[in-house]
Structure 1
Amino acid sequence: MTSLHAIVRPATAADRPAVERLWLMFRHDMSEFDSELPNPDATFKNDSRLRSAFERDDWAAYLFTSGDRPAGFAFVRSLSGPARVLNSFFVVRGARRSGLGLRAVREVVARHPGPWEIAFQDANAGAVAFWRRVAKEIAGDAWTEERRPVPNRPDLPPDAWISFTTA
């Protein structure tokens, strides 16, 4: 795939409808790993992260675009905490493996220097390779990976968490 030019910018209230549609795509992708089915109205029940990203002071929402097309999003939480958490990260399938995701995560992380934590599922082979590559490219050898239980979901395998610090 050819490299796509990406613009990464804070998502505004005007962007919220587009991010909400991207969120449905993200939750659809994630349902493969958490076995969640959509609600009867085809939404997913866990949209508290989406609301928080737009409404809470300690969160930031970013929209990725390529030209005039939405290509993905990122939600960051715990901006004032001991470590920033990349809470949700999504790139549409048509933009994957184009370099857009790596450029987008680099820009998001650069906007909030300090300690970072990113969770992903071991069963998601694409995410495993992507997040380990991100950690190596951003932090060299100065990153760690550990497994942590998923809160309130003892039925799921533990999440993998990558941690690193940026200047």
Structure 2
Amino acid sequence: MTELTEDPDLTVRPATPADRPTVERLWLLFRHDLSEFGGQLPNPDGTFRSERLEAAFSGSGDWAPYLFSLGAHPVGFAFVRALTQPTRVLNSFFVVRGVRRGGIGMRAVREVVARHPGAWTVAFQDGNPGAVRFWRRVGDALDPGEWEEERRPVPNRPGLAPDVWISFRYPRTR
């Protein structure tokens, strides 16, 4: 069993095609976690919807996948989209449960957004209290007093509760 050390050596780097199998396995954990809040069930083969995963590894200049590791251990990922737009979207973000609430997520977000300075948006669900606390802390940490929050309907899913979106700028230029 591998345990988190006091001063973990976090690496946040662009995911390569060779990293795809690792990210695919982390994707299953991510989608499983989210299924608690949206009631999604796995496909008959045990996988979950993976359009965002496919898009992130498509080679499109509008998407970028990132992999987070502690030493040799993968601990999370992020998919950024809309890289060619004025506002980037942190489309998917995941940290394994074993390192949550220890600062790894905040460090990873900070490193990802620093690679693409400017305006950002992130969506999460109100029914996911951990995500609500985390993303509001991100707004406070990265764009104190300036970030905004709004609720937007989920496109083509009228039966779902609206997503919560935060918007921030990083770094904030005064």
Fraction of identical pairs, as percent? 65
Matches within 5 A, 1:26-65: 26-44=30-48, 46-55=49-58, 56-65=60-69
AA at the equivalent of 1:58 = D
AA at the equivalent of 1:109 = V
Matches within 5 A, 1:1-167: 2=6, 4-44=8-48, 46-55=49-58, 56-167=60-171
* TM-score for both structures, normalised by structure 1: 0.96
C-alpha displacement at 1:4, in angstroms?
3.1
Tell me the distance in 1 between the aligned counterparts of 2:74 and 2:100: 13
* TM-score for both structures, normalised by structure 2: 0.93
> Pairwise CA RMSD of aligned residues?
1.1
- Measured against aligned partners, the alpha-carbon deviations of 1:79-114 in whole angstroms (never above 9, x if no partner) come to 011200000000000111111100000000000001
Secondary structure of 2:57's match? helix
C-alpha displacement at 1:5, in angstroms?
2.8
Q: Which 4+ stretches in 1 moved above 2 angstroms? A: 1-5
Tell me the distance in 1 between the aligned counterparts of 2:137 and 2:102: 14
Tell me the distance in 2 between the aligned counterparts of 1:66 and 1:138: 23
C-alpha displacement at 1:155, in angstroms?
1.4
Secondary structure of 1:15's match? helix
Secondary structure of 2:141's match? helix
Which consecutive residues of structure 1, in runs of 5 or more, have no partner in the other structure? none
AA at the equivalent of 1:166 = Y
Secondary structure of 1:81's match? coil
Tell me the distance in 1 between the aligned counterparts of 2:7 and 2:122: 24
Secondary structure of 1:136's match? helix
Tell me the distance in 1 between the aligned counterparts of 2:66 and 2:37: 24
Between the two proteins, the alignment pairs up a number of residues equal to 166
Tell me the distance in 2 between the aligned counterparts of 1:127 and 1:51: 24
